[in-house]
Amino acid sequence: MKLPLIDLSNLGENDSPRWESTKIQIREALQEYGCFEANFNNNIPLELRKSVGEGIRQLFDLPLAIKLLNKNPHKPLHSYVGRNDTDGLVESVAIDGALSSHVVDTFANLMWPNQGNPTFSKDILLYCEKMSELDKIVRRIVLESFGLEKYIDEHFNSTDYVCRINKYEAPRTPHSMLGLFSHTDKNIISTLHQLNHVNGLLILTKDGKTWIPANPTSPDSFVVLVGTTFRAWTNGRLHDPTHKVVVSGDETRYMIGLFTVAKEGCVIKTPEELVDEDHPLL
Ligand SMILES: O=C(O)CCC(=O)C(=O)O
Ligand SMILES: [Fe+2]
């Protein structure tokens, strides 16, 4: 089994025939699988991909004491996660508010206290901007597909972005090993981009029977995944898939993800249009 593959490159205006057919594809994919592979090419140039990969390798090579400075006392999931913090092979950093150059520079100054890392800051900011374009297209399309255009601005204005960068140590055994435990994302939308050719993400089907490999079919593709908050907002119409990461072989896996989260203090409320006899409020 494979994830649905949907081409979102150069999608054009939002009343074109292509936009309309893409809307149907996205809605079906998010109902049935809770995710899809998005082709979004021409969007992230090869040079940027290489440069960001290099910056991320340098970041994880920093001493543990430095990486531990990436902490958020109020939100433990928006902080550094080390190899000993979970059962898996994952190590991870988080940049909360990654669409702000000030936030990204502050993060880089913390990690590279001498003079920051201007290349890293510039690359991450650009990457996150591109991924947020994808998030906005998908959310706009989903809301339109429910006839809820009137909520689009409110939706966009009530969200922030967290960038999370994951490294999965090479297990160096012929057996596959757990990279990241099985979970659902609790945020709204996750936009995931595997940075090298080392696969590992698996998505559980809605019936809970099959793990589908989410191996990118091109270096320009992303996995767009529904989080529990969006499932709640849509009164259960969209599925929030369980997923995990399993790695094998002798190469390290890197992933950069942009997680759309509700702003602090924002209350998630299902629009009344999505509640009726067939769909009582969950
Ligand atoms: O590494 C991946 O592909 C997925 C990571 C993930 O599921 C997460 O960080 O929530
Ligand atoms: Fe996840």
**20-38: b (≥16 Cβ within 10 Å) or e:** eebbebbbebbeebbbbbb
Distance 204 CA to ligand 1 centre (A): 13
The closest-lying atom of ligand 1 relative to the alpha carbon of residue 185 is 10
| Cα 14 to middle of ligand 1, angstroms | 30
pLDDT band at 42 (very low <50, low <70, confident <90, very high): low
CB 135 within 8 A of CB 189: yes
ipTM metric: 0.99
pLDDT 10s digits, 207-221: 999 999 999 999 989
What domains lie within the chain, and their CATH numbers? 5-9+19-260 (2.60.120.330)
CA distance 178 to 104: 30
Would you say the pTM of this structure is higher than 0.80?
A: yes
What span, in angstroms and rounded, lies between the C-alpha atoms of 248 and 231? Answer: 32
